[in-house]
Amino acid sequence: MEPARVSKPAVFSQMGLQMERYVLSARVLHWVMAAGFIFMWACGYAMTSLVSDDSPLQEFLFGLHISIGVTLLLLLVIRIAVRTSNSPPPLPKAMARWEVIGSHLGHLGLYLLPAAVILIGWAETDFGGHGVKWFGLSMPKIFPTMKSLWGQDLETATSTLHEWLAYAMLALAAVHVAAVIKHRWIDGHDVLKRMTF
């Protein structure tokens, strides 16, 4: 008579599943921030290209854009803290070395570019003397009110840089999504499950 087989406790399978995924807080922050930046790109385009200059709608969109930007900066700080205190799940072993390096560089860019975009937007608002407000609450003034420096209009220069870095971040996000699709449907590495629920 065969001895009864003891099934593994559910906790072991749950721990194994957890090791394949980012911690819950990282996953929640990832998707909330992804939605936030999609809104920011749409809002930024709408307020600069689709609505009339100096209209009440444009003023409303500018205020909302700034408030969501401050929120995303706070979430980014939390996300960095979560990331540094929790090891990410391992990448598939079958990935080529260049893909691993590209993954690390891409993820680094997805932390650095948002920080740069938001801080330069903050500088643009401070340089222009408008002051950053978070849903009506005045935020600390990080940059001085300055019209120009070395002959450059600071508000215009930072506005242009903010826009171009936002486009660069959008391009990097598109590459990030394309890499996930490639790994999932071409290579057979389901890296998306690392960030799903």
CATH number of the domain encompassing residue 25:
1.20.950.20
For residue 28 the two structure tokens come to 């929640």
- Residue 3 lies inside a defined structural domain of this protein: no
Q: What is the pLDDT of residue 19?
A: 56
- Residue 196 lies inside a defined structural domain of this protein: no
- Residue 13 lies inside a defined structural domain of this protein: no
Average pLDDT value for the chain? 88
pLDDT < 70: residue spans in the chain: 1-19
What span, in angstroms and rounded, lies between the C-alpha atoms of 43 and 60? 10
Q: What is the pLDDT of residue 105?
A: 95
What span, in angstroms and rounded, lies between the C-alpha atoms of 115 and 121? 10
- Residue 108 lies inside a defined structural domain of this protein: yes
Residues spanned by the domain of 70: 19-190
pLDDT tens, position by position, 103-140: 999 999 999 999 999 999 999 999 999 999 999 999 99
Residues in the chain: 197
pTM of the model: 0.84
In total, how many domains does the chain have? 1
- Residue 28 lies inside a defined structural domain of this protein: yes
- Residue 12 lies inside a defined structural domain of this protein: no
